[in-house]
Homo-oligomer: A and B are copies of this chain.
Amino acid sequence: MARVILIEDDHAIRRLAAAALAQAGFDVDTAGAAMEGLQLIVRDHPDLVVLDLGLPDLDGGELLRMIRAVSQVPVIVATAREDEASMVDLLDAGADDYVVKPYSGEQLTARVRAVLRRGAAVAGDRELAVGGLVLSASSREVQLDGRLLDLSPKEFDLLRLLMERRDEVVTKRELLADVWREPYGGSDRTVDVHLSWLRKKLGESASEPRYLRTVHGVGVKLVEP
């Protein structure tokens, strides 16, 4: 069970977010001020930090740099919509992802899960294998029966998610939320097209499936042929 520290000064938001994360199975600890949060991080070595910008006692960007100085822990930054422009700087400064406030519990937990998964992939330099498919997360390379595949970024992310959840049916909405980072909008067509391209590169088609099986009315799943 992953441990998450939530740094947020607004009392209501803090409780809401903490409840959502706890419900999602995370072990949550919270801090209402910057230095308190930093202290927690140093003491507890959490698996992930959710950091609200706009803390009263310290600029969020400043705190992020301080966190980075003492720890490699992944950080998700929460920011108001009008500050989205400065997100580029923050991501550069070492943030791993961000959510725009106000965010829902689902959005937050989805991001947390995604970042942790990414982290796990890097840390373990995990190789996923299903049948003749071998995917290396760190090098972002995929081999099919020994031959290297040339995949676009989206195709790679798509395949990785499906391989991580092999045999499990994944809906297009989940794919949009997870690979495309758009929990609401986004068109199913987009997913369809990318799946089609992926199929072509895997040497199969929808009518002659090997790895990618579509489950009519629900989604797709990746199986061993």
Contacts and interface: CB of A to CB of B under 8 A. Distances in A.
Contacts of A92: 104-106
Contact of A167 (B16, B138, B152): B138
A15 interface: yes
Contact of A15 (B69, B105, B216): B69
Interface string A6-26: 000000100110011011000
Contact size class for A?
A: 20 to 34
A69 B106 contact: no
B138 A169 contact: yes
A215 interface: yes
Interface of A: 12, 15-16, 19-20, 22-23, 65, 68-69, 72, 92-94, 104-106, 138-140, 152-153, 167-169, 215-218, 221
Smallest CB-CB A-B distances: 9 pairs: A153-B217, A92-B104, A23-B72, A15-B69, A138-B168, A139-B167, A140-B169, A19-B68, A140-B215
25 contacts: A15-B68, A15-B69, A16-B69, A16-B93, A19-B68, A19-B69, A19-B72, A19-B94, A22-B72, A23-B72, A92-B104, A92-B105, A94-B105, A138-B167, A138-B168, A138-B169, A139-B168, A139-B169, A140-B169, A140-B215, A140-B221, A152-B216, A152-B217, A153-B215, A153-B216
